[in-house]
Amino acid sequence: MPVVNHEDSEFHLSHTEEDKLNEFQVITNFPPEDLPDVVRLLRNHGWQLEPALSRYFDGEWKGEPDQMGESTQTSTPMAETLVPPALGPRPLLFTASLPVVRPLPANFRNDFRTIGLNGRSNTVWSMFESFSYDGNPFLFILLLIPRIINRLSATIFTFFCTLLSLHSISGGGNSGKPKISKVPKAPTRETHIPLAEILGDTKDKDAFCELKSFKPDISFNEALRIAKEEFKFMLLILVGDTYDTDTDTVDVNSKLLLEKILLNKKTLQYLRKIDNDLIIYLKCVHELEPWLVARQLGVRNTPEIFLIANVANKASHSETLPSQRLSILGKLKVNSLNRFLQSLTNVVEKYTPELVVNKTEMHELRMSREIKKLQEDAYKKSLEMDRIKAIEKEKSLKHAQDLKLNSTARQLKWLKACIDEIQPFETTGKQATLQFRTSSGKRFVKKFPSMTTLYQIYQSIGCHIYLAVYSSDPAEWSNALQDKIRQLSADDDMLCFKEGQLETATATTIEELGHIINNELTSFDLERGKLEFDFELVSPFPKYTVHPNEHTSVDQVPQLWPNGSLLVEALDEEDEEDEENEEQ
């Protein structure tokens, strides 16, 4: 609950009573020493302004007894007696209706220029408000009469209040009439007015510019955005021409406001105190943007200072519950330093709890959103890692399966080659007699027709090495083939001979074994291709390496025709890779 101190007296008022007292002071401009009598006067009239003002201007109001008594409850409505304490936000049901502030249109400069060229009123607000009437002109005039009366009353009331306030600012030593500067009918400068021109050589202007809350080049819409999103107070200061060298056109009152109030050390000290919760907008109304702001707020004279914030507000009395809106919390008094600071402090203390609660809720909401986003990101990352692991596992399985398939195909091709090798061939014609010696010391001799290619020789020697049989006895080849098939069937790294094991076990002849091998080749959709050799044939004297060429016959190689001796040398894996790279 607000407490008003006067000398040794304290007056405990509700927020509504404090507002009534402030309105009474703006209208009457009573001296500070009359504060106890004014509070007593308002209490005696139930804090109703009209009868209290009538009694005040009659002149016979001082010294009357306190009819209500200090402990007597006021006759204010029930809704006003339930004013919450200053430590918490205002209840929604008792939120007053405050003037709402709206941002300027995004393209207001172009719109203003277009409107001016068309000869219409120099305002961009006509795009929001339009009125057309096609009826009787006399009825239209009757409709305008109440509005004209209200406008005239407000203008006269504002004029007298400003006159009294500016008289106090100018000081008691100046007996001349204070000159009131009005907002121009149209902006005189469409470009930005530098801050140096507004402040001039004012003392302590550097200290004012050092405030974090003051940004000279900030736009009105940007200041509103910060005040709305960050729940900060916006100190809106509209001044007149303080930089003109012509003494007749310079706004003396705005200059006095800057020098004696705004840049005063006490004001700067308080602004530093609330610097983190404040955004300051200081502009001259001769510039286009602040001129439009002044038109929106109904400012007629300069200087004017408003305090704006994003608070719970009812746009109209028909609304049941208020919503968050950028609202004018109050028009600050500029008639003296103390009253300016008092009005600023009162409004800030009144609405700070609500803004703190809103800011805390916004922070919690933002934190919950960030936490939710982090959780979603972590979940997505986990899903992505699982997906990558699944892909890698699938690739690994496919690679292992491909290795098995390649090994199986290699084994089946050699088995097929062994079946073909054991088949008899023509012995008529000239033949080459070749002696072979393996790296393990095995020696054997084979004869090949003259048209046998070097690749066929490699294939024949490879079959002997594959089955470890170094004779041409069909029985030995049949037994070796059966043993090889049984080994492949039991090997888990091989895919062949997993079915039909009974048939495999009973097959004894070369024809039966060949039939089984052909079935396996067909089941894997394999065709007989080139064999892979893990050895090479070398003629020792003179040393000559025989390559598995499919187009060169044995009779074309002098080292092998008609007789030759060849060493079977095993190839290392590195040598095989080098040969593959050379072929590529």
Closest CA to 64 of 72, 75, 74, 52: 52
What residue spans define the domains of the chain? 3-87, 108-335, 403-583
Q: Fold identical between 108-335 and 403-583?
A: no
As a whole number of Å, the CA-based R_g of the chain is 52
CB 111, CB 127: distance < 8 Å: yes
- Beta strands 233-239 and 181-182 are unpaired
Question: What is 108-335's CATH topology?
Answer: Glutaredoxin (3.40.30)
Question: What is 3-87's CATH topology?
Answer: Helicase, Ruva Protein; domain 3 (1.10.8)
Q: What is the DSSP letter of 551?
A: S
Show the CA angle centred on residue 378, arms to residues 372 and 382, nearest 5°. Answer: 145
Q: How far apart are CA 51 and CA 397, in angstroms?
A: 95
CB within 8 Å of 416: residues ≥ 6 apart? 514, 517, 518, 521, 528
Residue 563: beta bridge partners? Answer: 433
Question: What is 403-583's CATH topology?
Answer: Ubiquitin-like (UB roll) (3.10.20)
The phi, psi pair for 436, rounded to 5°, reads -120, 140
List the chain pLDDT tens, one digit each, 584 residues: 566 766 667 777 877 887 788 888 877 778 888 888 888 888 888 888 888 887 887 777 776 665 544 433 333 333 333 333 334 444 444 445 788 888 888 887 776 664 444 444 444 444 344 344 455 566 556 666 776 776 676 667 656 655 555 555 555 444 445 567 788 888 777 667 777 777 777 677 788 888 899 988 899 999 999 999 999 999 999 988 877 655 566 778 888 888 888 888 999 999 999 999 999 999 988 888 889 999 888 888 888 999 999 998 876 655 566 778 899 998 898 888 899 999 999 999 999 999 999 889 988 988 999 999 999 999 999 999 999 999 999 999 999 888 888 888 888 888 888 888 887 766 667 888 888 888 888 888 888 888 888 898 988 888 888 888 888 888 888 888 888 888 888 888 888 887 755 455 566 677 888 888 888 888 877 766 678 888 888 988 778 888 888 888 888 888 888 888 888 888 875 555 555 555 44
Q: How far apart are CA 231 and CA 364, in angstroms?
A: 14
Q: What is the DSSP letter of 88?
A: S
